[in-house]
Structure 1
Amino acid sequence: MSAPSNLPLACEQHRRTLLAGAADADAPDARLFATLVAARAGRGDLALLGLSQAQFAALLARHFPRLQPDAIAAPPARITLWNSVHADFVATLSALLLRDADRAVRYDDAACVAAIIAHACLRPDHLWRDLGLDGRDAVSAMLARYFPALAARNVAHLRWKKFLAREIAADLGVPPAPAPGCPGCEDYAHCFPRAQ
């Protein structure tokens, strides 16, 4: 799908639409999900969130109950990951994140965040950009809120995609490797100098 020519404006318009339909537009979770959904809606690729239609509808109902039914089109369907390496990565990372989900947050919200992060790791940019956030600190705050034990383990302050890929490798007992989207990133040689 082609992206709108004025992408930041399209994303911001979707974000405002979502927040206008929020139960509490100042709630941190509503603001986060508005940003995450708007980043994909503004590009016309909601399926890349990695949420099923049921998850997406439930997310909108929980955080944006006053949203007009046609304001944000539902994703066509969850994307099918034809590459088994990508599918395994997404499943493993989602499970790893959910093991560390904070019990103070809704499990359904943590599951949505886990799916969105895991699918974003398939894309070739810094995680914060792939998520539509405004920087690494926003990713750190999101992970600290939803998965605090995992976030606290990043004591070396690695870039988040690299850290998450290392967590998967440690969990599986295999040598560390880049996340699937890393090789396409402009900083791949910086993060993985031996891979060049």
Structure 2
Amino acid sequence: MTETLPGDAAAPDFERRAAACRDSLTGVPGGARSEDAWLFARLVAAREVRGERALLGLSAQAFAGLAQRHFVADAMALLPSSPHQPPMQQAVPIADETHAAFVASMCEWLIGLASRDVDAADAQCLAAILAHACLRPDHLWRDLGLAGRDDVTHMLTRFFPEVVARNREGLRWKKLLARELARATGGVPGPAPGCPGCEDFGFCFPLGN
């Protein structure tokens, strides 16, 4: 028998809610009309159930276009509301100028590397989502609400294969993205803005190296 710890019953089950939200967006329980629809439904659902849509970094226009391309009609309006969540938001300006510049540069760089096999608007949306995720203090796959590193690898291979080709050392993806952006813009390679808060920061950026 599994012991129930104090407060467990009241704790939001974000994983379950995200799965339900994902299925509502795609209209196909456990699936989607396309691989890209499945990916974006997962990315959106992970933030939606936490009241963190703004963290995706998408403008209202970009989000509406994404929803029109991949989600069922009126999916966002039909999502069940939760008393635990604050009102949903669209992207808000980044207060830190350095972080804002990083996001803008990362978006531009990624879009320049986008595969010709993907929808250009989808690539722009994913570039924004990835760039904003680099501001948060965890492994990239967790910041995106995915299941693990392999999910990120698969996503990058589909949309930005050149990024994957550059990771010959098997670096963590957030570190690799920051390094390659610095090299592309003439900067000094270093951590992404969110890296210092990650539990593995010392592993990726050991002192003296």
1:138 is aligned to 151
CA contact under 8 A between 2:25 and 2:71: conserved in structure 1? yes
Q: Does structure 1 retain, via aligned residues, the 8 Å contact 2:142–2:148?
A: yes
After TM superposition, which residue ranges in structure 1, 4 or more long, deviate above 6 angstroms?
A: none
How far apart are 1:149 and its partner, in Å? Answer: 1.3
Contact 2:51/2:88, CA 8 A, preserved across alignment: no
1:187 to 193, 200, 204: 200
| Alignment-derived partner of residue 115 in structure 1 | 128
Q: CA deviation at 1:85?
A: 0.8
Cα distance in 2 for partners of 1:153, 1:89 equals 20
Superposition map of 1:7-26 within 5 A: 7-20=14-27, 25-26=32-33
Larger Rg: 2
Match of 2:94 in 1: 81
> Could you list the per-position Cα deviations for residues 26-47 of structure 1 after superposition, in whole angstroms to 9, with x for gaps in the alignment?
4110100010000000111101
Preserved contact between residue 21 and residue 65 of structure 1 (Cα < 8 Å): no
Structure 1 distance, partners of 2:137, 2:76, is: 32
CA–CA separation in structure 2 for the residues paired with 1:19 and 1:68: 8
The answer to whether the 8 Å contact 1:100/1:147 transfers is yes
Q: Distance in 2 between matches of 1:112 and 1:84?
A: 21
Q: Give the direction of change, closer, same or farther, for the CA distance of 1:71–1:52 in structure 2 (3 Å limit).
A: same
Q: Which amino acid aligns with 1:188?
A: F
Q: Using a 3 Å threshold, how does the CA distance of structure 1 residues 68 and 170 change in structure 2: closer, same or farther? A: closer
Query: How high is the TM-score relative to the length of structure 2?
Result: 0.86
TM-score between both structures, scaled by the size of structure 1? 0.91
Structure 2: how far apart are the matches of 1:113 and 1:131? 11
List per-residue Cα deviations over 1:134-191 (Å, max 9, x = no partner): 1101101100100111221111110000000001110122221100000000000110
**Which amino acid in 1 is paired with 2:190?**
A
User: In the alignment, which of 53, 59, 64 is matched to residue 52 of structure 1?
Assistant: 59
Q: Does the alignment pair 1:28 with 2:35?
A: yes
Deviation at 1:69, TM superposition (A): 5.1
Match of 2:188 among 175, 182, 195: 175
Please give the alpha-carbon distance, in whole angstroms, between the structure 1 residues aligned to 2:143 and 2:190: 19
Q: 5+ residue gaps in structure 1?
A: none
CA contact (8 A) 2:52 2:89 kept: no
User: What whole-Å deviation, never above 9, does each CA across 1:84-106 have from its counterpart, x for those lacking one?
Assistant: 11101101111110010011110
Aligned 1:66-105 pairs, distance under 5 A: 66-68=73-75, 70-72=77-79, 75-105=88-118
**What's 1:39 paired with?**
46
d(CA) in 1 for partners of 2:204, 2:107: 23
**CA distance in 2: counterparts of 1:15 and 1:68, whole angstroms:** 10
In angstroms, what is the RMSD of aligned CA positions? 2.0
The answer to which of 170-179 and 41-50 deviates more is 170-179
CA distance in 1, matches of 2:28, 2:65: 14
Shift of 1:195: 6.9
Give how far 1:75 is off.
5.0
8 Å Cα contact 2:26-2:72 kept in structure 1: no
